[in-house]
Amino acid sequence: MRASLASATSCAATASIGARRWVAQAVDDTVITVEVAPYQTHKIEAPSRQVEVSIGELARLYQLMFKMRRMEVASDMQYKAKLIRGFCHLYDGQEAVLAGIEASLTMKDSIITSYRDHCHYLTRGGTVKEVMAELFGRATGATKGLGGSMHMYSRANNFYGGNGIVGAQVPLGAGVAFAHRYKKEPNVCVAMYGDGAANQGQIYEANNMAGLWNMPVIFVCENNHYGMGTAEWRSAKSPAYFTRGDYIPGIKADGMDVLAVKNVVAYAKEYALKEGPIILELDTYRYHGHSMSDPGSTYRTRDEVNAMRQQRDPVERVKKLLLENGYPADQIKAVEREVKKEVEAAVEAAKSAPTPPVEWMWRNIYVDPKGAEMRDVEGGYTKTTFNTAYKL
């Protein structure tokens, strides 16, 4: 009798789990239509405002965006604890931009960006562990501890950095797009820059060349409204950045809405592959200062930042949409717990990871470095010989 009861209980439990999984799958497969905010356009028709998305995809976007947020919050804490040194530019607040872009690309498409690049490495197939190790300057990091915050990179997944010079990545992105066209690859390059970089001359040179040669490039201006302590209205006579290409069409979208971004990038990719360059201006907001040396409160009010967090937060927007469409709250909490664990484990792993060996000072500089010399801290010379060509 007891065996039969145990067996029946086991079967009932199995059936219950199976039923829950079936219900969860049914919810995941549900497709909803969401109307996004109106687009502004320049020399091109606007894409549809009706965006279709499955609940499953929306849940995956939430997980990714929540992971970005937790990783950047942890980076902030470790920097303040003086375990991360040097430059550090955080991305929290802008998660919908990158998540939406990636939702409409493949890993064969290319991305290049500025120095605010931690999350880009993550969405291009990297791990939180690799990002955190790089920020700590460890040999297990994204670029082996040699690049730091501003120079993360993944050639394997067509992520070309992480570039420290303001705006310099934009002409490089046009070159990557040219390579796609030259090789007859059906892919685009997304070249990202901020409103602070939008006035740099090399961006207009890149626009001109891309337009002349019909390069499959999407120029993305992440307009977070503040450069290095300077509001856009103080640095730009015309802050309508999507019109700056003149003869190149442009679209402005809500960069705090991941679905609006996903939709406009899919539209832009189709256009770029057929017609050539296009400019997207994505209206977003950074919660932290420009860098860790900038408190971010001297040129804007705390009320403004708090209002953005409460009214337009990109992560909370997706969470709310999931809950409104029947996604279980306990599953969201489970995802959040797993992400928090992953980030905490990455921080601990970074603390104990090895630092790069001294000879890596010459890594990727000399093909066959022999007898390279380095001055030591005592003022003498240490001679190191190594014959292996190190490559990332």
- The model's confidence at residue 298, banded by pLDDT at 50, 70 and 90, is confident
Do 155 and 252 belong to one domain?
yes
Do 365 and 344 belong to one domain?
no
Residues whose CB falls within 8 Å of the CB of residue 103, separated by 6 or more in sequence, listed in order: 57, 61, 258, 261, 262, 265
Residue with tokens 């057929």: 274
d(CA 158, CA 191): 12
Whether 161 is covered by a domain: the verdict is: yes
- The model's confidence at residue 374, banded by pLDDT at 50, 70 and 90, is low
Whether 254 is covered by a domain: the verdict is: yes
How many domains does the chain contain in total? Answer: 2
Do 125 and 221 belong to one domain?
yes
Residues whose CB falls within 8 Å of the CB of residue 247, separated by 6 or more in sequence, listed in order: 43, 211
Which of 112, 98, 88, 89 has its CA nearest to residue 68? 98
Q: Give the residue numbers spanning the domain of 368.
A: 357-392
Do 338 and 375 belong to one domain?
no
d(CA 207, CA 224): 21
d(CA 258, CA 361): 40
The answer to whether residues 363 and 390 touch, using CB atoms and an 8 Å cutoff, is yes
Do 296 and 366 belong to one domain?
no
Which CATH number fits the domain that encloses residue 49?
3.40.50.970
Give 218's strand partners. Answer: 190, 278
* Percent of the chain at pLDDT exceeding 70: 86
Span 170-225, pLDDT tens digits = 999 999 999 999 999 999 999 999 999 999 999 999 999 999 999 999 999 999 99
Whether 289 is covered by a domain: the verdict is: yes
- The model's confidence at residue 373, banded by pLDDT at 50, 70 and 90, is low
Do 209 and 117 belong to one domain?
yes
Residues whose CB falls within 8 Å of the CB of residue 303, separated by 6 or more in sequence, listed in order: none
Which of 158, 173, 265, 239 has its CA nearest to residue 210? 173
Q: Which residue has the higher pLDDT, 202 or 378?
A: 202
Residue 22: predicted pLDDT = 43
Do 241 and 387 belong to one domain?
no
Whether 1 is covered by a domain: the verdict is: no
CB neighbours (10 Å) of residue 16? Answer: 10
The least confident of 33-42, 52-61, 101-110, 355-364 is: 355-364
DSSP, res 36: P
Do 152 and 243 belong to one domain?
yes
Residue 7: predicted pLDDT = 46
DSSP letters, 223-289, are: E-SBSSS-BHHHH-S---GGGTTTTS-EEEEETT-HHHHHHHHHHHHHHHHHH--EEEEEE---SS-
Give 254's strand partners. Answer: 283
Do 266 and 383 belong to one domain?
no
Residue 27: predicted pLDDT = 74
pTM: 0.89
240-249: average pLDDT: 97
Do 108 and 207 belong to one domain?
yes
* Structure tokens given for 236: 């730009």
d(CA 64, CA 83): 25
